[in-house]
Structure 1
């Protein structure tokens, strides 16, 4: 195992070789768990390997090989992992497509990546492929469409369409009938090189068309290894719930890379909407959440307590107030006195532990937040109730991880210290630049963008940061998101937006004001919490748009904006705001697949709202 750990640290192994290792050493141990019809079904490492081998052989007889690209457009399922590792085992690359992507984005990725095979999760994803072909013409490289769930597709043309199980069975049948091919799969796996391109991850496209970042096995392994080393992640201390799209580099790190490095179990959530229920059922030991997930967990507790009896609400509020006071004291470097320790123990029994059980994170020994900036108040809430929540920072181009917090370096609002061996520097304009073996191979078929992003071996992250006294960095904002007002003042919008989203009544905030003489904001109400508030006030409404248009709701949000304005300098105050009459949507091009706001389309998409602010 020591030799294996050294290979992890150096990245001298491939992901299919790791699967081969676990299938050979712990074949009957749990690798994957998936819920079907209310029952959690187990998949062992031997079964995992067999599925990958069968699918890889099925791809091989269709000509898929080294350098080819296989796209996957699917919700999270075990077949996502099987397809991913099978393509890599043959020397190919996996191209992830978000299942929420509209057909136009899927069309762009399939054509740009020149994928020869696509694995679709269900009828909806197959229809996107067929619609794109009907409108834009046939994909010149696409040879085969594979579908995991064939429900509703009885009358489809099966010329190019196969079920996942059919491909697996055809591969196994071919191998059994061709003795010379019996060891072909193992030969391919063993021939894999750590610096082979393994995956192509398309960037979210917040400021332009998505670019396909190519990552090697070594990139992914050396980026992930520091978490194993720092948090003592072992097979018996590692189980995760897979719920974010697997084409997102953060989910790939936790549900594919770390699982294969450690031999830990991956549990597939039924859907993003059932995450909290699945968390309670699985009680994972490690948990990763993007900011929106942590915000939803916090809001769910806030909404639940509003329906509780008065005594329960008083105990809840007492516990949180006490915990926050104690947390502030500890943050200041002070110790709790004996009386405070007793009170804290009582609060832990009556409030904190039940809260964690309700959220399904009571067994977590380390948890992480990444993918975007998060409000410090959300981090404080979870640390107050005893959840070890650490900020991690990275990007697709850095293999998913570059900086992370730990028990010794965990300043609220910071993003941690560099991973061992990572070099970094801060440019004159505040942009973070890094150099490390995890830095990606470049953008697929885009030498110009690669040359602009990697200069003399230094990755230009595009993030403006500050260096803290304790060695941590703090992310200020995306370089392209900084607002410069007409008076020449540089404004960091994310800090103000996070403060606004601390309100349980505001789910999205977009600060505007580039080239203007004051800041404005486009605000989206939280439909659930504002709706509950409206019902308590006796206000009738029918739709999101109707609720947003109520004068009483505007007054409610105005108070929240005023509260936030009091915490910022006058030049950073929101002078005017507009409540959006619709929820921001990925299908409408306002959000990326990872739910980040596409700032480059906001002012044109909401031209009337902008005119209302800056009339």
Structure 2
């Protein structure tokens, strides 16, 4: 099929199969062994699957859904559907209940490709439930699963194994030679390639239609400043339902011929990354923050000599990184010292994280603290911030190499126009602006104007070097008593830089002179490690969060964060929540963004108690035991007043790379 154009993903695959058929396109680790799939084998399986989908009666213009973790079958199903002019809506594997129903009914998908027994059970349960009066009925006619483990005894007629679908396709292909080539050739750059869900922080997620043209324009513009080579390797472990993974693994992967590797399991992800040694990587801030937390825990558990050596190496790396991100070069002596420090100190840490071969990596989707950036640059990782939205294929602005101010998100990529409106809203325009929200033209008209400008809803400004600085969602930007504009997210990030804080939600005061209050969720791994070191016993997360010693620990971290904040926006009081925020409870999105309206409603009593400066607040919590029984408990949460607290005299600052003082 070397005669086809390269306007769509399937056309690019056809070209790669024709010119690099024996090269490895993707590989998956199974039972400890990497199983490769060449470009020609990839195309053959897409060919068979496309015929199989046609045999099931699905045709151009429809939508199929894919639900599950990253596996080769996800991409095979995606490319097979796209070969026929069928769009693919990805669903996060953690989605359940109403969220799952909403996506399936809105997309009107008749076929769902699901990973395993867990996902199949969720779908079968939905099909058995009565349709709510105000909801559309589900239209699912077939569930195709690609991991048969545990499904051997299922006899539901709606189920089909992925290998059975491929076999069905091979039979149809024998009767329709040339059909697959005709379908690919008929594909257009303006066909819908994927439908990605928006974050849904304030309402149900919307379904954003992204065309092949949108995604491939983004890939071309990004790689024009950050080239990706056909020999580069990429480890795919973030959900394909997320625009970030579609952006790099699929759009950049197919347009540049990347080899995609799939870890065997979430528990082996880090070791599998070390084996592959990816050249490029894109992850949201929570991944980088968890990496830093892991380093902090491991260094805190190390002996004094290792800690001292790492501290020396880190300080050298930090000095060199500070110079490089501002475009300066270290002198010969500093370069030589840095080479030694890297060999004995920071390179082993990169190796443990699987980042030894990384040339550049990105973070996006949410703001990340400058100190996290500083840490990774100090250990030799070229981490850069990107800014974008699902509606513009995930990226519009990015840092350039050797120009990475930690408090900005960079400058626009080629082909992207940007302007700041009179009221401070960031507006973007490029070939990557999406086609619109699926079946919601009125919502599309609200966000894309007649001139093609995407109204992001984010407030921002340009600094003296024309770098974009994002403040927060425009509706969430607040004004302090002295007139300073600020965002709750900025203060939350200051708190979250602490290795002991997993999440924080900050609430503005009713009286502008009263200061901020916060609900803090501790990190169970790092706080648990700290508690063990302090010989502090505990049983559950709730027990750990309720310890007075843990309150004192977080109080010191919050006080340190306050030092860099203006007086009017410092945190005055906080409470340690008795549980972690959970996407299944709608408290955070699947991409870990806080749903503030849910928090305000669910924890209204806590928020009110913080505002009143109470000493404590009672909350009701339902506990479910392993045998299925449950009981409701009343928990007393203490409120810590930081206005009367001071860091113990002589207590030194905690290094960036350590949880110890």
Give the TM-score category using the shorter length: over 0.9
Equivalence for 1:67? 61
Q: Which one of the candidate residues 488, 491, 500 is aligned to 2:486?
A: 491
**Residue 275 of structure 1: how far off its partner (Å):** 2.6
Q: Which one of the candidate residues 194, 197, 204 is aligned to 1:199?
A: 194
Structure 1 residues 327 and 28: alpha-carbon distance in aligned structure 2, compared to 1, 3 A threshold: closer
Q: State the distance in 1 between where 2:150 and 2:10 align.
A: 33
Q: Which one of the candidate residues 89, 97, 104 is aligned to 1:103?
A: 97
Equivalence for 1:296? 290
SS at match of 1:341: helix
Equivalence for 2:171? 173
Structure with the higher helix share, 1 or 2 = 1
Matches for 1:5-20 after TM superposition, within 5 Å: 13-20=7-14
Equivalence for 1:164? 162
Equivalence for 2:429? 435
Structure 1 residues 27 and 328: alpha-carbon distance in aligned structure 2, compared to 1, 3 A threshold: closer
Equivalence for 2:469? 474
Q: Which one of the candidate residues 79, 86, 97 is aligned to 2:80?
A: 86
Q: Which one of the candidate residues 564, 567, 573 is aligned to 1:570?
A: 567
CA deviation map 1:177-198 (0-9, x unaligned): x1xx111111000100001111
Equivalence for 1:595? 592
**Residue 406 of structure 1: how far off its partner (Å):** 1.4
Q: Does 1:360 align with 2:372?
A: no
Equivalence for 2:620? none
Q: State the distance in 2 between where 1:234 and 1:322 align.
A: 31
SS at match of 1:255: helix
Q: State the distance in 2 between where 1:92 and 1:63 align.
A: 12
Structure 1 residues 139 and 38: alpha-carbon distance in aligned structure 2, compared to 1, 3 A threshold: farther
Q: State the distance in 2 between where 1:612 and 1:495 align.
A: 23
Q: State the distance in 2 between where 1:150 and 1:366 align.
A: 37
Structure 1 residues 188 and 557: alpha-carbon distance in aligned structure 2, compared to 1, 3 A threshold: same
Q: Does 1:126 align with 2:123?
A: no
**Residue 540 of structure 1: how far off its partner (Å):** 0.9
Matches for 1:16-95 after TM superposition, within 5 Å: 16-95=10-89
**Residue 159 of structure 1: how far off its partner (Å):** 1.4
Q: State the distance in 1 between where 2:471 and 2:603 align.
A: 26
- Is the 2:48–2:167 contact (alpha carbons within 8 Å) kept by the matching residues of 1? yes
CA deviation map 1:477-525 (0-9, x unaligned): 1223324579976431121111111111111111112655431111111
TM-score (norm 2): 0.88
Q: Which one of the candidate residues 206, 212, 219 is aligned to 2:214?
A: 219
Deviates more, 1:161-170 or 1:314-323: 314-323
- Is the 1:224–1:401 contact (alpha carbons within 8 Å) kept by the matching residues of 2? no
Structure 1 residues 222 and 514: alpha-carbon distance in aligned structure 2, compared to 1, 3 A threshold: farther
Q: Which one of the candidate residues 522, 527, 537 is aligned to 1:525?
A: 522
- Is the 1:486–1:515 contact (alpha carbons within 8 Å) kept by the matching residues of 2? no
Q: State the distance in 1 between where 2:236 and 2:327 align.
A: 37
TM-score (norm 1): 0.95
CA deviation map 1:34-70 (0-9, x unaligned): 0111111000011111111111101101111111000
- Is the 1:64–1:90 contact (alpha carbons within 8 Å) kept by the matching residues of 2? no
Aligned length: 603
Equivalence for 2:417? 423
- Is the 1:103–1:129 contact (alpha carbons within 8 Å) kept by the matching residues of 2? no
Structure 1 residues 101 and 516: alpha-carbon distance in aligned structure 2, compared to 1, 3 A threshold: farther
Unaligned runs of 5+ in 1: none
- Is the 1:239–1:265 contact (alpha carbons within 8 Å) kept by the matching residues of 2? yes
Q: State the distance in 2 between where 1:153 and 1:330 align.
A: 54
Q: State the distance in 2 between where 1:403 and 1:584 align.
A: 30
Deviates more, 1:449-458 or 1:334-343: 334-343
CA deviation map 1:149-190 (0-9, x unaligned): 1222233233111011101100101222x1xx1111110001
Q: Which one of the candidate residues 172, 175, 184 is aligned to 2:179?
A: 184
CA deviation map 1:126-169 (0-9, x unaligned): 11112112223394422211111122223323311101110110
Q: Does 1:561 align with 2:558?
A: yes
SS at match of 1:587: helix
Equivalence for 1:387? 381
Structure 1 residues 42 and 330: alpha-carbon distance in aligned structure 2, compared to 1, 3 A threshold: closer
**Residue 288 of structure 1: how far off its partner (Å):** 1.1
Matches for 1:250-329 after TM superposition, within 5 Å: 250-328=244-322
Q: State the distance in 2 between where 1:313 and 1:76 align.
A: 37
Q: State the distance in 2 between where 1:364 and 1:203 align.
A: 29
Q: State the distance in 1 between where 2:436 and 2:369 align.
A: 32
Q: State the distance in 2 between where 1:148 and 1:331 align.
A: 45
Structure 1 residues 125 and 484: alpha-carbon distance in aligned structure 2, compared to 1, 3 A threshold: farther
Q: State the distance in 1 between where 2:542 and 2:499 align.
A: 18
SS at match of 1:65: coil
CA deviation map 1:210-246 (0-9, x unaligned): 111001000000012122221221102x210000001
CA deviation map 1:519-575 (0-9, x unaligned): 111111111111111111111100000000000000010011111111100111001
- Is the 2:471–2:477 contact (alpha carbons within 8 Å) kept by the matching residues of 1? no
- Is the 2:104–2:138 contact (alpha carbons within 8 Å) kept by the matching residues of 1? no
Structure 1 residues 109 and 333: alpha-carbon distance in aligned structure 2, compared to 1, 3 A threshold: closer
- Is the 2:326–2:403 contact (alpha carbons within 8 Å) kept by the matching residues of 1? no
SS at match of 2:129: helix
Q: State the distance in 2 between where 1:436 and 1:541 align.
A: 54
Deviates more, 1:297-306 or 1:265-274: 265-274
Q: CA RMSD in A?
A: 1.9
Q: State the distance in 1 between where 2:372 and 2:509 align.
A: 28
Q: Does 1:458 align with 2:453?
A: yes
Q: State the distance in 2 between where 1:481 and 1:197 align.
A: 33
Equivalence for 1:448? 442
Equivalence for 1:114? 108
Q: State the distance in 2 between where 1:330 and 1:89 align.
A: 45
Q: State the distance in 1 between where 2:374 and 2:239 align.
A: 27
Equivalence for 1:136? 130
